[in-house]
Amino acid sequence: MPIGRVRALKLLRQTFRHHSAVQQLHVFGRFLSAPFLRTLDAIPPGSRVLDVGAGHGICARLFVEERAREVVAVEPDLRKTLMAWRHPAVRFVAGFDDCIRGAFDVVTIYDVLYRLDAAARDALLPRLYARVRPGGLLVMKEIDPTSRIKEAWNRVQEFLSDKLFGLSMGNVFYNETPDVIAQRLARAGFVDFTARRVDFGYPHAHILYTARRPAS
């Protein structure tokens, strides 16, 4: 049976038990404010996953519990990676995505793109393409700005989060429409674009994108 909220919360509590109270607050707030569990079915069971911009590793923890056989979690912010929790099938790497080599069944990237300017977005996506094995998958979670009320709330929350916790890198934040994202991914070489809103019951318009690297 897929993991439910209660079991996921217990798992995260156990995983982050040695973190500071502020970091635990951030992790639980993050988990409760984003539908991580609704995205797990996008990861093919048994995959080897690269999670880019892993943050504290919430995705990595859930992926390896439910779907992935192995996760490499890359994150440049040492406040998050130095205290990383340990798991035999998860490897944390302190650095930016470009320090990773090799090809993965799935590359995941949750709520990272919106923090980058346009040039950095266009530079990052071909790098992610290079990390996906031929026929493999990119899974990306972002916020859909076409939902105006939810987007306004998102901007307030992002501002407060930066002020209170200062936990994310990047000077800009803006979300792009699914059409623009589709074009960016196509320019990077990806095919079979899908977009699925996963935000029912959440104040933010969470959206999950998938795209594939052609098999040949």
Residues that bind ligand SAM (CB under 6 A): 30, 52-55, 58-59, 74-77, 80, 96-97, 110-112, 115, 124, 168-169
131/213 with CB nearer ligand SAM = 131
- Residue 102 vs 214, nearer CB to ligand SAM: 102
Paired tokens of 45: 């069971």
Amino acid found at 158:
E
d(CA 41, CA 39) in angstroms, rounded, equals 6
DSSP string, 81-119: HTT---BTTEEEEES-GGG--S-EEEEEEES-GGGS-HH
We find the least distance from the C-beta atom of residue 95 to ligand SAM, in angstroms, to be: 7
State the minimum distance, in angstroms, from the CB of residue 199 to ligand SAM.
Answer: 15
Closest separation in Å from C-beta 77 to ligand SAM: 4
How far apart are the C-alpha atoms of 16 and 37, rounded to whole Å? 18
DSSP state of 87: B
Q: Is the Cβ of residue 34 or residue 211 nearer to ligand SAM in the bound state? A: 34
Nearer to ligand SAM, 55 or 178 (CB): 55
